[in-house]
Amino acid sequence: MPYNCIVLIKQVPDTKRITGQAMNDDGTVNRGALPAIFNPEDLNALEVALQIKEQFGGTITAITMGPPAAAAVLRDSLYRGADDAVLITDVRCAASDTLATSYILKCAVQKTGDFDIVLCGRQAIDGDTAQVGPQLAEKLGVPQITYLEELAELDGDSITARRNIGTGWQQVRTKLPVLLTVTGEANEPRVAAAKKMMKYKNAWAPVEIEQQVRAENPEVDEATIKELVERKCSILKEKGLLIKQWDLDFVEADLTWCGRGGSPTKVHRIQSVVLAAKESKNVEPSENGITEMIGELIEDKTIA
């Protein structure tokens, strides 16, 4: 039987490419200094959805919440085989913590209609909280399988999966609909597909169209801008190239639960930790030298 999958994805700064300019003086992340990428484990989640679709049929809807530029990861999802893409962008989303984010995503998922499987990456590399997936499952009122490393069986409305529990694995079974959070070990995600890229590189969200129109027509009045944007959007829609764009009103979110106001997390203090080499030590390339080094590392609990 075919399954309708919803994959929640996030655009994140590439924390593997940290340079000297990665942090602002106040300890916040300088997003401009880091390239924005598809959160790695969200690609694993998308890959699970694509394999489900290939085997059983159904649809895949990719949803992301973020600034207009986040539409890039939606295009990336379309390049890999997602059928539909939704950008949730609204200034009132700004400063949302995991609780507010999962609330907004809950509203969005419910807006898409019936779903069988919601997939998320285990965690995003910028915050590393791993909270949004589980919170979302609770808010949707569906069972969750976190830390998925293998989808063992999908049969009717029953799902069996193997999850990583740190010291080993655990195989669990539950009923659909379900929410899964997927680890990097689950698969090796496919790359963007040529023809899908050739087509969907021309897919844009309305907010991006507006930016383009403004850049191309710097001295035009607002009414004309609006008209140009609408015309362009309707052309794209006809070609199946318009990325859906929803705001908080559209997903019928209660604003008290969104943004800064809906976020109980308070950042007490951010410490900018600068690691500097104080002293260095030479290890002899011999049996003895290596044994000594390992002994030291065990002693200071660097390795177990």
Partner 1 sequence: MGNFYSDNEDMQFLFRHVNLREVAALCEDGFKFAGEFDHAPADAKEAVQNYDMVLSSLGQLSADFIAPRAEDVDREGNTLNEDGTVSYAKGIQESLEKLAQAEVMGFTLPHRFGGLNFPNVVYSMAIEIVSRADAALMNIFGLQGIAETINAFASEGIKRKYLYDFSAGKITGAMVLTEPDAGSDLQSVKLRAFTDDDGKWYLHGVKRFITNGCGDVLLVLARSEPHISDGRGLSLFVCDRGPTVHIRRLEDKLGIHGSPTCEIFFDNTPCQIIGERQRGLITYVMSLMNGARVGIAAQSMGIAEAAYRVARDYAASRKQFGVAIEKLPAVRDMLIDMKVSIEAGRALLYETSRVVDMEVGYARRLESSPPEDKAQARQLKNDQRKYRRYASMLTPMSKYYCSEMCNRVAYDSIQVLGGSGYMRDYACERHARDARITTIYEGTSQLQVVAAVRGVCSGTAEKLLGELSGQQFASEMDDLLAKLAEGAEQLNKAVAFVKEQGNEYMDLYGRALVDMAIGLITGYLFCGQASTKVDMDVAVAAKGPGDNSEMVSMRQRKASVARRYVTKNAPKISALAELICAGERSTFTDYESLIGPVPTE
Compute the least distance from the CB of residue 101 to partner 1, in Å: 26
Contacts (CB under 8 A) with partner 1, residues 16-35: 16
- Whether 62 and 40 have beta carbons less than 8 Å apart is answered as no
Instruction: Check binding of 173 to partner 1 (CB under 8 A).
Output: no
User: 8 by DSSP, 3-state: which?
Assistant: strand
Instruction: Check binding of 194 to partner 1 (CB under 8 A).
Output: yes
Binding part of the chain for partner 1, among 22-30, 92-100, 192-200, 218-226 by CB under 8 A, reads: 192-200
Q: Which is nearer to partner 1, 226 or 239 (CB)?
A: 239
Q: Which is nearer to partner 1, 74 or 140 (CB)?
A: 74
Rounded Cα distance, 176 and 116, in Å: 6
**Tokens at 61, concatenated:** 């809807």
Binding part of the chain for partner 1, among 114-122, 187-195, 206-214, 226-234 by CB under 8 A, reads: 187-195
Sole binder of partner 1 in the list 31, 92, 111, 199 (CB under 8 A): 199
Q: What is the largest CA-CA distance in the chain?
A: 78
Compute the least distance from the CB of residue 190 to partner 1, in Å: 4
Is the link from the previous residue into 177 a cis peptide, with omega within 30 of 0? yes
Rounded Cα distance, 39 and 72, in Å: 12
Compute the least distance from the CB of residue 279 to partner 1, in Å: 18
Instruction: Check binding of 237 to partner 1 (CB under 8 A).
Output: no
Q: Which is nearer to partner 1, 16 or 260 (CB)?
A: 16
Query: In the chain, where do the E strands start and end?
Result: 3-9, 11-13, 36-38, 58-65, 84-88, 117-121, 144-155, 158-164, 169-175, 178-182, 244-246
Residues found near partner 1 in the complex (CB under 8 A): 16, 79, 188, 190-199, 201, 239-240
